[in-house]
Structure 1
Amino acid sequence: MEATGRELGISGAELEALRCGALFHDIGKIGVPDRILNKPGPLDEGEWRVMKRHPEIGAQILAPLAFMAPSVPIVRHEHEHWDGSGYPDGLAGEEIPLGARVILVCDAYHAMTSDRPYRAALDRWEALRRLRVGAGRQFDPGVVDAFLEIFSVREHPSSVPGPVVA
């Protein structure tokens, strides 16, 4: 996450807020029952409602800690989508803190390339292709571009099939 932030020109206190936000972005999952977190199949509507509260819970946990203040909005908004379809507040585009947009992309890549109770890990190239496809909808296109740059994918765009990120 730090490398993606640096690629985007993030530095100083903003980079430190990104680092802390990255470390604690899922702390709110402490408020989600294990039976939901580890469910081997799709979540039902009620379970999904509980899961979608974890960013708010995380922000509430961190809010009393003064040194975490710059990271609280990052933690709260790390599941907001570029097109406004995310949660908890339905923010869109630049309304979403940049650190949260970075974490969303990096965390999505990690989730896609890790085994989950409900599916096997994707290979690196398929995960990168899915990030490209999601750019402009789920993900900030500029953040996806920076993430791909770190992988040097932009030098060989044919190696990752899918739409080109503008």
Structure 2
Amino acid sequence: QHLSQTLVSVSRQGDVLARIGGDEFAIILPSTTSEQSHSFCERIKKACQQDKIEPIYLRLNISLGYATQEGEYKEINSLLKVADRKMYQDKLFSAKSREKHFLEAFRIILAERDPHTEDHAQRLQELALSLGNKVGLSEYQLGNLKLLALLHDVGKIGIPDNILFKTYILTPSEWKKMREHSRIGYRMAKNIPDFAPIAQEILHHHEHWDGTGYPDGLKGEKIPLLSRIISIIDAYDVMQSCRPYKGG
């Protein structure tokens, strides 16, 4: 109802608004060019962006597509198919934009916690792509590996500063708390659709081949492949950068 009210407020007199599915609407715009249709879609998006309804997750998030009857006559169903394809392209673009916003937010938060984090993540991404190509990962796997290089330690956001930045040996209780960062990162990632594909890899990036790692003591090939790769290059980068290794 909230969306339909927004669409009505943007529509002109004579435009025909109809629901064609559970959460899909179609609007017929008489005597409207392709450029005018594009402008109409932009007005709808602007109206949705100005939505101030609370809580925030109830605010409108919309993807749009359009098709125009110009020149040779086209069946209404063929026009709907064109508009539908454009709508899914818009949805895909919006999803990638959301992912970029999430990544940027996490990057800033991690960099604020630890000034070394940003440079470390950049080096890890380069090393990850190099090693990933060497072992023959697919493009999809390489994309996830690059994302994992940036977010594998995101759970450290939930670790207190007095533990995270301690310069001498952690006590057993502090070490137990530090180890929780992999589970914290897992919970964060699995609840964000764009990052859910690497949630298990975040959880297990401190497992060891011999089963002495954490949190689940996985051994050998039971450890996710991308987790194994990140573990190797993370240790390598730490040794190369001459800073204390707290990865465990």
Shared topology, TM-score over 0.5? yes
Which consecutive unaligned segments of at least 5 residues does structure 2 have?
1-127
Deviations 1:33-68 (A, max 9, x none): 111111111111011001111111001111111121
Q: CA deviation at 1:117?
A: 5.9
The structure with higher relative contact order (CA 8 Å, sep 6+) is 1
Aligned match for 2:166, one of 39, 45, 62:
39
Asked if 1:22 is matched to 2:144, the reply is no
Partner of 1:79: 206
TM-score, normalising length: structure 2: 0.46
- For residues 162 and 176 of structure 2, the distance between their equivalents in structure 1, rounded to whole angstroms, comes to 14
Instruction: Decide which structure has the larger Cα Rg and report it.
Output: 2
Counterpart mapping for 1:65-104 below 5 A: 65-104=192-231
With 86-95 and 12-21 compared, the bigger mean Cα shift is at: 12-21
Q: 1:22 offset after TM fit, Å?
A: 1.0
Pair 117,99 (structure 1): closer, same or farther in 2 beyond 3 Å: closer
Report how many aligned residue pairs link the two structures: 120
RMSD: 1.9
Letter matched to residue 135 of structure 2: L
Secondary structure at the aligned position of 1:107 is classed as helix
Residue pairs, 1:53-72, within 5 angstroms: 53-72=180-199
Output the CA distance in 2 between the equivalents of 1:17 and 1:93.
21
Alignment identity in percent? 46
> Is the 2:206–2:215 Cα contact (8 Å) retained in structure 1?
yes
Structure 1 stretches of 4+ moved >4 Å: none
Do the aligned residues in 1 keep the contact of 2:207 with 2:218 (CA within 8 Å)? Answer: yes
Alignment partners' CA distance in 2, 1:115 and 1:30: 23
Q: Report the TM-score when normalising by structure 1.
A: 0.68
